[in-house]
Structure 1
Amino acid sequence: NNEVAGFKFSVIGVLYAVLLAFVVIAVWQNYSNTEIAVRNEAKAVGDLTQLSYAVPDPEGSAIRTSVADYANEVRQSEWATMARGSPSTTTAHALAHLTQAIFDLHSDQIRDLALFQQSLHLLAVIEDNRNERLDSANGSVPPILWFVLIAGAIITLGYPAFFGTTNLVAQILMTATLAALVALTLLLALLLDFPFTGQVSVSSGAFDEALQQMPPHLKGHPPPETENSLP
């Protein structure tokens, strides 16, 4: 009867609502953390550029060039590959060149040990935040959880069919409204789960700002003609 079915439907509805809310909150937190990682990475790029002016040339100039190459590759190359869930080989190579440029410094080429240590710290910040950015590109919700969400939506939306009613139109409208709400929430979770794909994507504006602070001759590196992705 409708009373028993109504009680069971309320239990199913609450359980599914809690699960769906948990997923939405989790993917939103991951999206926010990704935005923070991008800003921190871009800030470290800018800070390392400024710090390189304390290093005598040609080593300081080599660091600035390597930093600019890396920032340009992230903006022009890796943002596109992250939309497909993959890192960029050219960006990885640019980061390797930047790492080598810093490791090529010698104690007599820098003012003090603290300067070298700060360079290593900024490099570590760049690498750590890049790794976090790449990890989030593939999504944080495991496939099994998506399966549970979709199966739960089918069960939740199908359950009202067991209710007896004399107004079929009203039941169809209520079910359609519930289906639209569930579909929109699932779509929101899906868009937020892949922060570099689709219209709701993390912007590369932080790297644009970092590049704007660099010397003019370092800003205009053209994008590579071809792009490969790491397996």
Structure 2
Amino acid sequence: MLLGERFMVGGGWTSLVAFIGGMLVVTFGILLSARRYPAARAVDDAESAVADTIASAIAILSALLLAFVIVVVWEKYNAIRDTVANETGAIHSLMRETQRLPEPRRDQILGLLQSYSEQVRDDDWPILASTGKRPIEQVPLADATLDRLWQTVISTDDPQAHTLNDAVVAELKELTVNRTHRFALAGDGVTGALWLLLISSSVATVALTIFSYRQLSRRHTPIFLFYAAFLGAMLWLVADSDDPFGGTQRIRADRFEYATRMIQAQRKPA
């Protein structure tokens, strides 16, 4: 499980409170330390200018890093959403291509397609929402169904059936590639080292800004706390976007539910 997904345990909105609350607590502690140890703060204009320069540089670098990571995780989110659309599109194409196949071969393929869609919805999605990657200790049910689907499609000695199978095989390849791609993308994410850098740079920005003030008064407290809450919200946005199957903007299995209903309708006797 990726570090960002660990942060999301308990629900997306709960983790938002945790991120903001954590930054507020850390910032409040820094403010107390700055008031308790005034000697650690800038004592003249020269020291204040140096501290301001360092704080500004770190703040800019931190903002650039945060913006870069947000763009990367959103690109990952969109890529997974497109992959899911392509995967279900291949299922619909397979349904259309099977109309040219004779019975009972057509119904066998449709039955396996229906099982695949149901297993992706009922088995894959909970796995992706909890771990974000393909389990090592057990094979997902849909993998076994996909293997059976391949065996059913290619196991024929009829030359005419081979000709009809060409389009089916092409769509089945598309389905297999997108399934693999979905798990591969879901397993990628913000690494622990990058999370450490994001959090430490955010805390360092707040700390250096506070300690650069020569005259630190209580009226500055709401400003720093608001800044800390904003940083916490941005960090949460990274974690939430990095968890496309479990975050607040989670990708749902609705497309596979729709594909299941379409297959059921095709299998109904006229």
Verify same fold: TM over 0.5: yes
CA distance in 2, matches of 1:218, 1:92: 23
2:184 aligned with 1:138, yes or no? no
Q: Between Structure 1 and Structure 2, how many residues are aligned?
A: 217
CA distance in 1, matches of 2:156, 2:256: 26
Superposition RMSD in Å: 2.0
TM-superposed CA distance for 1:44, in Å, is 0.4
Listed as ranges, the matches of 1:131-170 within 5 Å are 131-170=180-219
Matching residue of 1:92 = 143
Amino acid at match of 1:72: E
Matching residue of 2:21 = none
2:246 aligned with 1:200, yes or no? no
**TM-score by structure 2 length?**
0.75
- Among 222, 240, 247, which residue is 1:173 paired with? 222
Amino acid at match of 1:90: L
2:115 aligned with 1:69, yes or no? yes
TM-superposed CA distance for 1:209, in Å, is 2.0
Residues 124-147 of structure 1, C-alpha deviations (whole Å, 9 max, x = no match):
111111112112333422221111
Q: Give 5+ residue unaligned stretches, structure 2.
A: 1-46
CA distance in 1, matches of 2:201, 2:228: 12
CA distance in 2, matches of 1:201, 1:16: 27
CA distance in 1, matches of 2:173, 2:96: 16
Matching residue of 2:177 = 128
Matching residue of 2:94 = 48
CA distance in 1, matches of 2:203, 2:169: 52
CA distance in 1, matches of 2:199, 2:154: 50
Pick which of 4-13 and 138-147 moved more.
138-147
CA distance in 1, matches of 2:124, 2:170: 23
CA distance in 2, matches of 1:18, 1:177: 20
The structure that has the greater radius of gyration is: 2
SS at match of 2:100: coil
TM-superposed CA distance for 1:71, in Å, is 0.5
Matching residue of 1:82 = 128
